Structure 1
Amino acid sequence: MFPSLADLLATARVVSLPMATRFRGIDTREALLLEGPHGWTEFSPFIEYGDAEASSWLSAAIDFGWNATPPGYRDEIPVNATVPAVPAEAVQGVLDRFPGCRTAKVKVAAGDQTLADDVGRVRAVRDALGPTGRIRLDANGLWTLDEAEHAIHALAGFDLEYVEQPVESIEDLAEIRRRTRYLDVPIAADESVRKASDPLAVARAGAADLLVIKAQPLGGIRAALDIVGQAGLPVVVSSALETSVGIAMGAHLAAAIPELQFDCGLGTASLLAADVTSSPLVPQDGAIPVRRVTADAGLLERHRASVDRRDWWLARLTRSHALLAG
């Protein structure tokens, strides 16, 4: 089903949620929630994204709210902790928000920090998780080739599960994978999948060992499953810093993938200081359940965005809907 703009506007609610820890340079996360025939869904492209990119997120929201979800292979999803670019002494406090998680994704390459800061943060995570814990890094494509090679060499001793998007382009991903092969650290692609005009190009180029898949940016569960099926690589399903409503979309995507080798990045509701439901999808014993989430009217009201921000989001919704309808 493809709803009209009036259908979407009838239930649209815009919220502004405080973050428990600053992440991606933001202290609050804004999102637009919609209620369709199959339940609540979410439209929350990051503020800086243009309308063409945002329209894929709306396609995902419509798919989740107006269509039944595909059948799943599991009813809970093991998830990783997410450690923002915090000082080493703050690491344990972040990990405490992810009870039972034995995998941690650590943000590195932040512009206001040094490689020494990254090493200290990763060391603190390794100390907290112990020798059996798994550590993956995420550079968001912010290193140059030479910086990535130097950093991976410096951090490989912490027994890394993989490094996510160490460099920006597909060509550089292929090259850093070649340069660091001797270190036996797999390379994962994220932005090269979700922000690419051709999300399968990175797989065809042999530029990554695994793919990070996110439901909203890729246009929804069915579109993401199609990419997974064609890519022929292991995948990690991750979130886009959504509310629990958006996390539920990712959980249903992860449930529908036949082989799920890695813990998923779907525990990020723990990075929020507030949510839109009284039963948030936060990790318990290292996993989250696969279920739809109902937004709580009281929480939607408590965290409603200001009038100007609401209007900004409704205008964005209108433009993105026009792109999809066209």
Structure 2
Amino acid sequence: MPSPALPPLADLLAVAHVVSLPLTTRFRRIDTREAVVFRGPEGATEFSPFVEYGDDEAATWLAAAIDFGWRTQPSPLRDRIRVNATVPAVDASRVPEVLALYDGCRTAKVKVAEAGQVLADDVARVRAVRRELGAEGRIRVDANGGWNVDEAEHAVHSLAEFDLEYVEQPCATIDELAELRERLHDWDIPIAADESVRRADDPLAVARAGAADLLVIKAQPLGGIHSALDIVREAGLPVVVSSALDTSVGLSMGAWLAASIPSLDFDCGLGTASLLAADVTARPLRAVGGFIDVGRVDLDEERLTQHAASPERDAWWRARIRRCYESLSERS
């Protein structure tokens, strides 16, 4: 699909608000989430690639922000999305506290393979989640590519007693995923690909290689809703729509994407507003009865002011926008 014309850079910067939001618990080794939200002609939108990402990768996130804020979106097929709880790599004793943040969620994604931890920590955490959710609850684990094939096979065997829904990105490469999937053939534990989709030069390569049973799809890293829907159609695999610790604005983009996919069999990873101690709207997009609503989020001026990033960080993000915009202009 051809890229639509970019709005003028000056227009983007004029409606940009750089915020720094505290987290309820440490996640991805950060305590504060920085993001840029814009008031576009179609509504609020977000640009929030993690700070360690290079400009070329981050430019795709800017394309997503422009897509959602400056372009008409597909008509949603549903008005609410069932979401999962997300459990960071916390001590098992904190699991009840974390799950209490997610009203009515029947599914939990549990982070595993955290640097500085061992498999016993993962097992204890997942066991605590199973205890809280009960036999009917659904548990998926996410290693963010942190295991090699042997480690992943051993870990999955150790966690299998907790009736895993699937294992997300257990290994870093497509070849490793394919090998692990073959080794787990008789275990009936699906493999989901995340980084192998959103951080790949070719997001469809993992599907073509038969290296995953389902794909984790995120609107921002894939260039927006229109681009992500193209990938879903071409991949031909079941998908889970997820987020990247977005503000409620970014989550609304993900919810709109999820609502535009005809077949949505899995609870989506769009409940992470509960990990934010502050947000950019008076009505954060948190789970209620296990669901979040589909629709636009209204930015709140008081919160934008209260959580505005420091002048130095504001300047850093605006310079990043300029560089990413230049990259998008060159692509066009």
Same fold, TM exceeding 0.5? yes
How far residue 323 of structure 1 moved from its aligned partner, in angstroms, is 0.6
How far residue 69 of structure 1 moved from its aligned partner, in angstroms, is 1.3
The equivalences for 1:1-326 within 5 A come to 1-326=5-330
One-letter amino acid matched to 1:277: T
Query: For residues 70 and 190 of structure 1, what CA distance do their matches in structure 2 show?
Result: 24
How far residue 136 of structure 1 moved from its aligned partner, in angstroms, is 0.2
How far residue 182 of structure 1 moved from its aligned partner, in angstroms, is 1.4
Identity of aligned residues (%): 67
SS of residue in 2 equivalent to 1:48 = coil
SS of residue in 2 equivalent to 1:224 = helix
SS of residue in 1 equivalent to 2:257 = helix
One-letter amino acid matched to 2:71: N
One-letter amino acid matched to 2:118: T
Query: For residues 121 and 314 of structure 2, what CA distance do their matches in structure 1 show?
Result: 38
How far residue 256 of structure 1 moved from its aligned partner, in angstroms, is 0.2
SS of residue in 2 equivalent to 1:106 = strand
How far residue 227 of structure 1 moved from its aligned partner, in angstroms, is 0.2
Query: For residues 44 and 6 of structure 2, what CA distance do their matches in structure 1 show?
Result: 15
One-letter amino acid matched to 2:249: V
How far residue 130 of structure 1 moved from its aligned partner, in angstroms, is 0.2
Unpaired runs of at least 5, structure 1: none
One-letter amino acid matched to 2:252: A
Query: For residues 298 and 116 of structure 2, what CA distance do their matches in structure 1 show?
Result: 38
Moved over 3 A (4+): none
One-letter amino acid matched to 1:269: A
One-letter amino acid matched to 2:297: V
Query: For residues 216 and 259 of structure 2, what CA distance do their matches in structure 1 show?
Result: 15
Query: For residues 54 and 6 of structure 2, what CA distance do their matches in structure 1 show?
Result: 22
Count of aligned pairs: 326
One-letter amino acid matched to 2:196: S
Cα deviation code 1:282-314 (max 9, x no counterpart)? 000000000110110000000000000000000
How far residue 2 of structure 1 moved from its aligned partner, in angstroms, is 1.8
One-letter amino acid matched to 2:311: V
Cα deviation code 1:7-26 (max 9, x no counterpart)? 00111110000000100000
Unpaired runs of at least 5, structure 2: none
Query: For residues 214 and 175 of structure 1, what CA distance do their matches in structure 2 show?
Result: 25
SS of residue in 1 equivalent to 2:50 = coil
> TM-score if structure 2 supplies the norm length?
0.98
How far residue 30 of structure 1 moved from its aligned partner, in angstroms, is 0.1
